[in-house]
Amino acid sequence: MEFVTFEQVSLAYEEGGPLAIRDISLSVKKNEFIAVVGPSGCGKSTLMKLVSGLSEPTSGYVYMNGRQISGPQKCIGMAFQASNLLPWRTTLENVMLPLEIVQPYRSQMRKQRKEFEEMARALIARVGLAGWENKYPWELSGGMQQRASICRALIHKPELLMLDEPFGALDAFTREELWCMLQDLWQEQPFTVVLVTHDLREAVFLADTVYVMSKGPGEILVKREIDIPRPRTLEDTYTEHFASQVHVLRDHIGAIRKH
């Protein structure tokens, strides 16, 4: 079942200005994990804005659940390279933020605060932050902040999780740890994921389908299914098969650069 569909979508931020993306057509199935890779400035973030309804396409159509997207969508979780946690809230309060905004949680907040708090605590523990609920963001390391940020993106059980280079600022070891964490979360309770990244290994490790984009205006060059069985482990990243997948993608990007 198609969940998100792009039909010949182009977008220029200014009228008559250069296109940020051109003629993008793709479709994401329900609970599919897709990754979009490409050089910087290829309009990956634009793609995210279109899906979430924060931008409107100049031409073409974006559908979600068969309906055309107009205006900001509800029930999307987002996480970025910067964790964007609110410094005046503790980890727990930060994670609870979406529940104060999204319906139906919002109107039940007063009555069911206890249950919601338990829900948040469980999720926080699930990503390995148990014991840090009452700490402030500046007391957490970069990796922990990112874990909290992902909790915040998932607490309201969104159908779609959008990740814009969420692990870009982390060291290699922490990054790989978080890959596994994200995969576990996704396998336990599936949701649709759009992951935007520079990191080909990350894309191959996590995604069912990888899209390679070209630079300005962004176009989709290649769509590639990753057939490595799940759950994938870090061991898998050292296999011949994994390396060849990364290599093929790398070749496409290399080809882009030569033009």
Partner 1 sequence: MAFNRRKFMIRNASWMLMIVLLLIWEILCIGLNVPEYLFPAPTAVWSAGIERWEPILMHAWQTFFTTLVGFALAVGVGVVLGVAVGTYPIVYKALYPLLVGFNSIPKVAFVPVLVVWFGIGTVPAILTAFLISFFPILVNVATGLATLEPELEDVLRSLGASKLDILRKVGLPRALPYFFASLKVAITLAFVGSVISETVASNKGIGYLMMAASSSMDMALVFAGLIVIGVMGVVMYELFAWMEKRFTRWANRGSNSVAI
Write out the residues near partner 1 by the rule CB under 8 A.
49, 52-54, 72-78, 80, 82, 84, 86-88, 97-98, 100-103, 136, 138, 152-153, 156, 162
Closer CB to partner 1, 152 or 252, in the complex? 152
* Least distance in angstroms from the C-beta of 121 to partner 1: 20
Provide, rounded to whole angstroms, the least separation between the CB of residue 123 and partner 1: 16
Give the containing element (helix H, strand E) for 13.
none
Cβ distance to partner 1 smaller for residue 53 or 177: 53
Q: State which residue, 52 or 214, has the beta carbon closest to partner 1.
A: 52
The span from the CA of 7 to the CA of 98, in Å, is 30
| Separation CA 116–CA 100 (nearest Å) | 10
Q: For residues 252 and 53, what is the distance between their CA atoms, to the nearest angstrom?
A: 30
**How far from chain centre, in Å, is Cα 107?**
27
Structure tokens at 14: 């200014």
Instruction: Give the single-character DSSP code of 256.
Output: H
81 vs 237, beta carbon nearer partner 1:
81
CB of 62 to partner 1, least distance (A): 14
**Minimum CB distance to partner 1, residue 12 (Å):** 19
Whether the CB-CB separation of 97 and 156 falls below 8 Å is answered with no
Tokens found for residue 175: 């990054």
